[in-house]
Amino acid sequence: MKRVLCTFAWAMSMALSASRAADTAPGKELFDHYCAECHGAGPGHPGTQQLGWLHGESRALLEKRTDLSPDYVKFVVRHGLWEMPPFRPTEIDDAALARLAEYLARSGKH
């Protein structure tokens, strides 16, 4: 009986994990991992704060912007901008960067 319950619990946790992953837009997990600390919503995110000061609140949140192209995102990530340091390919590889850039280019358009 214990074995059946453990197997059932494991199967349910796997199904819930798969369901959550399917609900997440490709690139969202990369944004959360690499970008959200500085560019997340709410107070205490220096990238969001600086973009708000420089360009206005409507352009502060990267995930809400509609003017970002994948090429621009890739350029800024690789070369840095203002206080944002560049990210080397050893920190975020080109394939992951492409998914992140596509996510940011599309996220604000939904």
Q: Please state which of the four CATH numbers 3.30.70.20, 3.40.50.150, 1.10.760.10, 3.10.450.50 is assigned to the domain occupying 25-107.
A: 1.10.760.10
Tokens of 10: 């494991």
Whether the CB-CB separation of 38 and 83 falls below 8 Å is answered with: no
Exposure on the CB side of residue 79, measured as CA atoms within 13 A: 7
66 Cβ contact partners less than 8 Å away, ≥ 6 residues apart: 108, 109
For 61-98, give one letter per residue: b (16+ CB within 10 A) or e.
Answer: bbbebeebebeebbebbeeeeeebeebeeeebeeebbe
Q: What residues does each domain of the chain span? A: 25-107
Tokens of 40: 């997340």
Closest CA to 51 of 37, 66, 61, 40: 61
pTM: 0.72
pLDDT tens-digit readout, 66-103: 999 999 999 999 999 988 999 999 999 999 999 999 99
109 Cβ contact partners less than 8 Å away, ≥ 6 residues apart: 66
pLDDT tens-digit readout, 19-28: 444 446 789 9
